[in-house]
Structure 1
Amino acid sequence: MTSETKPNSDERAPLLRKTQHEDEDVARTEKYSGASFYGSVFNLTCTVVGSGIMSLPATLKLLGLLPGIVLIILVSFIIEASVELLLRFSKEGSAVSYGDVMAHAYGWIGKIVLQITIVIYSIEDVLSGSTSFHGVHHPGILEGWFGEHWWTGRAFVLVAVTIIIFIPLMFFERIDSAKYISLISVGLALLFLFVVVGVTVYKLVDGSIESPKWFPNVTDSASFFRIFTAVPVIVFAYVCHYNVHTIQNELADSSQMKAVLRSSLSLCAVVYVMTGLFGFLLFGESTISNLLSNFDTDLGIPYSRLFNDIIRISYAAHVILVFPTIFLPLRLNLDGLLFPTARPLTLDKKRFVLGSIGLVFISLVGAIFIPNIWVAFEFSGATLGGLLAFVFPASITLKDPHGIATTRDKIVSVSMIILAVFANLMAIYSNLSSLLS
């Protein structure tokens, strides 16, 4: 890291008093700055591609092929613009975390609001990979192979995965330590995608796939408002802002961060478009909100059960290995809320270990005893993702604490806020109407 990009306490002292996480971010940056370009791309890609990918085919079912694909690509550009705004204000204020940038604009209250948002959002992201949709039971892989036993049930599998995988991974102190895990996770996501594409192409060739819907069916006001529920779903699938600074701080050459961001978002956009397109083509109007749930039935091809298992195993393993990139910001921000004046977490091994174990335990209990939390997701997902991706970066730009925002920046920021507020209000209204009816 060069002297121009490496933060120091003298540069930051006039702006804000030094808090626990400023100390910790600086300590981590000074301790390690050797992350590679490709390792950073994989880590950021893993931050982006999580359980949200499973909702994209259902989004195209709602919007139709053409508007759905256009929206997926458009959101990727808006996300890139919002992250670049954060990075510009970070550089100007020598900030090394999303919280720092928020604090420079809105003080400690702004930072606390951001931390609470990240904690809730990250907990949902951790739980969303292990929850069922709408209370419908879909047999797990082990249950499908061996039948219903205590050792093929949800609770035992979650405990086993936690002990064997999550607990070892929770001790990563920096995100670059997860680069090989992220590489494997991205590879598994691509394997999942390639098999879905292969199955869809096979069925297209033999003529067993119906003609897709190109545009949404709008028949009344309810169906019109329901269209807007697609925006928060796609935004949720792209949110990565809470890990951008951590990845930049660890880069050997922090000037590469924009290239890392563009490479990662480009890869994610391609994966999202192909998953949405081929998933919707494969199942058509039978597409379920969680695409994975479609793969417990006969696909109408030879070796259908084998392909179902490959798809489900590869995706499940992908979601499991995303854990480190989600868990690190969750632990960091929750610790900042609970112990704002304590010494850096990475320097307090007892607090680090106890906090990590506590978070994993809470996540495990939540996944076991709250198997259906999608009603809550439909409402909070329609707000938290929009706050992190659009509202907070745009608000920082409009506040302009360093006087660097251009007229174009402010126009873009106002547009982001309008988009987020309007789409989220419409989505909340539609979800509430569906729930009450």
Structure 2
Amino acid sequence: MYTKTRSSDRHNSSYQVGELIADMSPAAKLKVPLLPEHKPELRHASVSGAVFNVSTSIIGAGIMSIPATLKVLGVIPAFLLILVVALLTDVSVEFLLRFTHSGDSTTYAGVMKESFGRVGSTATQVCVMITNLGCLIMFLIIIGDVLSGNRPEGVVHLGILQKWFGIHWWNSREFALLVTVAFILLPLVLLRRVESLKFSSAVSVLLALVFVGISSMMAIFALVEGKAKSPRLLPQLDNQVSFFDLFTAVPVIVTAFTFHFNVHPIGFELGKSSDMMKAVRISLVLCAAIYFSIGLFGYLLFGDSITSDILVNFDRNSGSAIGSILNDIVRLSYALHVMLVFPLLNFSLRANIDEFLFPKNPLLATDTRRFLSLTLVLLLISYLAAIAIPNIWYFFQFLGSTSAVCLAFIFPGAVALRDVHGISTERDRIMAATMVFLAVVTSTIAISSNIHTLFGNKS
């Protein structure tokens, strides 16, 4: 993220100088050296470009674990949960943008600093760093699952490389991810401008739609042939699953809709603040439809055998050459999707870490040594963590219960309740209080349930 003092102020100042110069008389202009002849024009991003960037930020890795939430919750509660979280996300983004334009800040951390001082901005930066680094690790886990397989609960799932060429050292998880990081992700994360990622974001959204489209077609064929599984409409509570265990699915949905760390970088590229809310609402509708579609059709295909990463399920024997090809296309399309999402989240992560560690230094993009060092360190950490932690469900639960829920709901709600600019209405305060209360309660229950399950399994 950029701060106003480090980037936006300089851009706005140069634009204001241009306006003053344009108003000068010809005689006055002669006294000023090297004056431009015309007022510089601002190039604003398009709403469609913002929709692609927002949608890419939202979809990310979230789509992979949505089917697993349907297995836990059932179809109806999962649909309602996706709808509620999407609506609350819209409210929280509206709070952020309104308080941003009422103050002097141009970043999420800046908005929190205006309301809660240095503690608020530091908390925001730390949460962004935790959330984005966790998401980058999840992306590499997904890529590793696609290329080299996984072994959830002792069941072997072969990756595409192993399926095509057999099991060798060069298609192991460690080596395949190393090659991916070095030759695909590194060139992408070396881009220094966020607007240069809009085209890769458009391609990533298209790949996600390909993934959903093929999965839906396969599920429809399974229904016609009578091979589809029967999804549960409501959760099934028994000795293994208690009522409180259902709350562990909430953080997964929260994480899947958390993109607030990119609201300001994307929003300030647009000409009007209302354009950002338009882009956000289009993206939320699109992503909610994608999430529920892949959840439902994935459940129809695999039933209770769904893993925390549905891509692993697509290595099954389809019984036909066409089915096998479709399985491979589904897995590859989404692996390529997360490869293109990776640099977008890495951009915000890298900028926040740099601003946190070096607040008085020049812009990161102007310091090649610092830029390369930070980029390489983040890639190395993500790679090592993805090798050590092979299950994305744990990441979704942890992030959704802690940093993601703070960024998505608790911090925006707290800003509206603090109301340092005196712009919150009674309805805003009620919505903010409700949002914060629900976020705290569900996250507390989810964390407690996870701890109980962890220690219960050990005993």
Fold-level match, TM-score > 0.5?
Answer: yes
Computed over aligned residues only, the root mean square deviation of the Cα atoms, in angstroms, reads 2.1
Match of residue 204, structure 2, among 174, 185, 204:
185
Shift of 1:20: 8.6
Q: Which amino acid counterpart does residue 304 of structure 2 have in structure 1?
A: E
Q: State the Cα distance separating 1:401 from its structure 2 match.
A: 1.1
1:208 & 1:201 partners in 2: Cα distance? 10
Partners of 2:434 and 2:318 lie apart in 1 by 43
Residue 237 of structure 1 aligns with which residue?
256
Paired position in structure 2 for 1:70: 80
| Aligned residue number for residue 105 of structure 1 | 115
Of residues 180, 193, 199 in structure 1, which corresponds to 2:218?
A: 199
Aligned positions of 1:346-385 closer than 5 A: 346-372=365-391, 375=394, 377-385=396-404
* 1:26 is the counterpart of 2:36: no
Query: Counterpart of 1:146?
Result: 165
2:268 match: secondary structure = helix
What does 1:330-341 correspond to in 2, within 5 Å?
Answer: 330-341=349-360
Q: 1:69-218 maps to which residues of 2 (within 5 A)? A: 69-131=79-141, 137-218=156-237
1:63–1:216 contact (8 Å) kept in structure 2: yes
Once the two structures are TM-superposed, the CA of residue 374 in structure 1 deviates from its matched residue by 5.0
Q: Deviations over 1:275-317 (max 9, x none)?
A: 1111111111222221111111124566222111011100111
* Distance in 2 separating the partners of 1:225 and 1:178: 41
User: Superposed, which structure 2 residues align to 1:305-324 within 5 Å?
Assistant: 305-324=324-343
CA distance in 2, matches of 1:135, 1:234: 23
Moved more, 27-36 or 141-150: 27-36
Q: Which residue of 2 aligns with 1:3?
A: none
Residues 1:59 and 2:78 aligned together = no
CA contact (8 A) 1:20 1:342 kept: no
Distance 1:81 1:435 in 2: 34
Instruction: Give the superposition deviation at 1:370.
Output: 4.2
| 8 Å contact from structure 2 (residues 255, 399) kept in 1 | no
- Superposed displacement of residue 350, structure 1: 2.7
Classify the secondary structure of the residue corresponding to 1:215: coil
The unaligned stretches of length 5 or more in structure 1 are: 1-18
Shift of residue 270, structure 1, vs aligned partner: 0.9
Alignment partner, residue 256 of structure 1: 275
Give, in whole Å, the separation in 1 of the partners of 2:251 and 2:45.
32
2:19 maps to what in 1? none
Matched with 1:42 is 52
Q: Within 1, Cα distance between the matches of 2:317 and 2:104?
A: 56
Aligned to 1:16: none
Distance (Å, rounded) in 2 between the aligned partners of 1:305 and 1:139: 13
Q: In the alignment, is the contact (CA less than 8 A) between 1:24 and 1:345 conserved in 2?
A: no
Q: Is the contact made by 1:155 and 1:368 (CA closer than 8 Å) also made in structure 2?
A: yes
Determine whether 1:396 maps to 2:415. yes
The code of the aligned residue for 2:373 comes to L
Answer yes or no: is the 8 Å Cα contact 1:382–1:424 preserved in 2: yes
Q: How many residues align?
A: 419
- Indicate the structure (1 or 2) with the bigger Cα radius of gyration: 2
1:90 aligned counterpart, secondary structure: helix
Q: Is the 8 A contact 2:307 2:313 kept in 1?
A: yes
Higher relative contact order (CA 8 A, sep 6+): 1
Residue 67 to residue 29, structure 1, CA distance change in 2 (3 Å): farther
**Residue 289 in structure 1 maps to residue 308 in structure 2:** yes
**Percent identity for Structure 1 against Structure 2:** 42
In structure 2, distance between residues paired with 1:65 and 1:25: 46
Given residue 286 of structure 1, which amino acid in structure 2 is its aligned partner? S
Q: CA deviation at 1:422?
A: 1.2
TM-score (norm 1): 0.90
Asked if structure 2 preserves the Cα contact closer than 8 Å seen for 1:29 and 1:249, the reply is no
> Structure 1 residues 232, 341: closer, same or farther in 2, change over 3 A?
same
